[in-house]
Chain A
Amino acid sequence: MAMTLTEKILARHAGRTSVSPGELILAKVDLALGNDVTSPIAIQAFRSLGVPEVFDRERVALVPDHFAPNKDIRSAEQVKMMREFAREYGIVNYFEVGRMGIEHVLLPDEGLVVPGDLVIGADSHTCTYGALCAFSTGVGSTDLAAAMVSGEVWLKVPDTLRIVLSGRPGKWVEGKDVILHIIGEIGVDGALYQAMEYAGDGIAHLPMAWRFTVSNMAIEAGAKNGIFPFDAATKRYADARAKRRYEVVAADPGARYAGELSVDLAALEPVVAFPHLPGNTKPLSQVGNVPVDQVVVGSCTNGRIEDLRGAAEVLRGRKVHDGVRMIVFPATQEIYLQAMREGLMEVFVTAGAAFSTPTCGPCLGGHMGILAKGERAIATTNRNFVGRMGHPESEVYLANPVVAAASAVLGRIGGPDEL
């Protein structure tokens, strides 16, 4: 039977020749992930079972990133619980402060996720690795506990929505704009339960960094995963980093899709999502006058080196507006070091921006840049729900890194062409 990319990866991991949408399967996981918010609950559940070891010491990843470096005593206790668990059970992939990063950037960059994988994580943005032609999805803490014991997860095979990208994106349009545009079109439940599978010759114009951004926000359309086909760019990225052998998977001709959406990349302009939903989008030209108090560049959506380069390019030789605080968060230590080597850090600091150690920080209203009542931020993050970055009466606008950087200079939401 002809299968979509997602169906094919699921079938392989369930030891089956085929699967179809709606079926429940038990599948092997290649990697199970937890962070400092979700793993403590999973660790307690794991310990309650009294099993002597995890299914595979190399296939559990524990990343303290949400409130680390420890924000307060409670966060310190949570991270301590992870650290002790990692030591006791010999978890190879525990990432300590100073060697860590935001989980969804760190794991693929470390080569721990490879094409064709099935990865689960107790974090909703685990869908990010679809960029690598892997199946990955967010689950609950109990699922993580179970996977740490058995190396398996049960899944319902999703329908697949096919998204065909064509054309070449214009200046200042990036991966963020592609996914914000799609969510704006189909809505925040537009792909509920479904796999989003990208296709079309437009994909060739999306570098890996952009694909990670697009897959990262699949959950913002309600989807289970968002997956790209394997191509030359995937191969280059994977060959440079993969710590395991991988097998290339492709969708079958004649696979059945639940729906299809076409996106002409050439017709896009940068997109901004207004409060309080990622689907509440407007093209940049129709934003109007929206002054901002804070600008955040970072997160698992847009904290990669390419994102920092883009923002720095806009800021070079310019100053952050008097009324604005700009905070830049490289997603990992590797990216931090690279930004230092390329002189990007100097550009940010000279422009008057703060440059932080890797952390989720303000993305989830954790620490390092919380908004006061009535304040407004433009951020390269993925969610702008009520209170997401601080006070329930603060506002978050979502955009790509070059628009965020331009807004920092302008003091209001705007693009680099206005500088």
Chain B
Amino acid sequence: MNSELRGKAWKYGDDVDTDVIIPARYLNTSDPAELARHCMEDIDASFASKVSNGDIIVAGKNFGCGSSREHAPIAIKASGASAVVARSFARIFYRNAFNMGLPIFEAPEAVDGIEAGDRLAVDMEKGILRNETKGREYRFTPIPPFMQELVAAGGLLNYIAIRKKGT
């Protein structure tokens, strides 16, 4: 798998909650494409239309707090964003993100040094985040191989299905 992610940064603050990531009024569907159209709508109306494949959401502490809805990471992933880097994540969002195949990283120092629009490259395997715009490099605890496989498989259920088949 390609363990490097590249894209530009979308920067947000602390306590971005799941109601902002995907407002409850859109929860009558679980279609990823539909959810993606409303991703981050209540904090940044331009996000869904302007985000490019590979872009990375960068945020402060407690990202994903609030409800346990699995729709939040689904919406982010379907929007084209490749990862979320934050100072910290709410516990259930953290689980759900990996389970839905969305890689997320806790890298507090990197968050401080990133501005909206900076070009970022993340090496998931080595645990290195490069801010190419600012020419700086940060290290974070890399995710272990099985979590990388889980992300590569597209989420927990696919990962399990693949392993069960022994492929």
Contacts and interface: CB of A to CB of B under 8 A. Distances in A.
B94 A156 contact: yes
Given A142-B70, A143-B156, A224 B91 contact: yes
A49 B157 contact: yes
B157 A140 contact: no
B102 to A, nearest CB: 13
B82 interface: no
B60 to A, nearest CB: 15
A285 interface: no
A26 interface: yes
Q: For this complex, into which size category does the number of interface residues on chain B fall?
A: 20 to 34
B101 to A, nearest CB: 11
Given A22-B141, A140-B70, A150-B163, A45 B157 contact: yes
A149 B160 contact: yes
A193 interface: yes
Contacts of A222: 91
B164 A51 contact: yes
B68 A140 contact: yes
Contacts of B159: 146
Main secondary structure of the interface of A (DSSP, over half): mixed
Interface in B80-128: 91-92, 94-96, 98-100
B99 A24 contact: no
A140 B95 CA distance: 8
B152 interface: no
B143 interface: yes
B150 A154 contact: yes
Given A48-B157, A140-B96, A149 B91 contact: no
A117 to B, nearest CB: 20
A100 interface: no
Contacts of A140: 68, 70, 92, 95-96, 99
Contacts of A139: 95
Contact of B147 (A24, A50, A143): A24
Interface in B118-157: 141, 143-144, 146-147, 150, 155-157
B98 A154 contact: yes
A26 B146 contact: yes
Interface string A179-190: 000000000000
B24 interface: no
Most B C-beta atoms less than 10 A away, residue of A26, A51, A146 = A146
Contacts of B160: 49, 146, 149-150
A50 B161 CA distance: 9
Given A26-B146, A142-B70, A150-B163, A192 B91 contact: yes
Interface of B: 68, 70, 91-92, 94-96, 98-100, 141, 143-144, 146-147, 150, 155-157, 159-161, 163-164
Given A26-B146, A50-B161, A143-B156, 18 more contacts: A22-B141, A23-B141, A24-B144, A48-B157, A49-B157, A49-B161, A140-B92, A140-B95, A142-B70, A142-B157, A143-B99, A146-B99, A146-B159, A146-B160, A149-B160, A150-B163, A154-B146, A222-B91
14 contacts: A24-B147, A26-B146, A45-B157, A51-B161, A142-B99, A143-B156, A146-B157, A146-B159, A146-B160, A150-B163, A154-B98, A154-B156, A156-B94, A193-B91
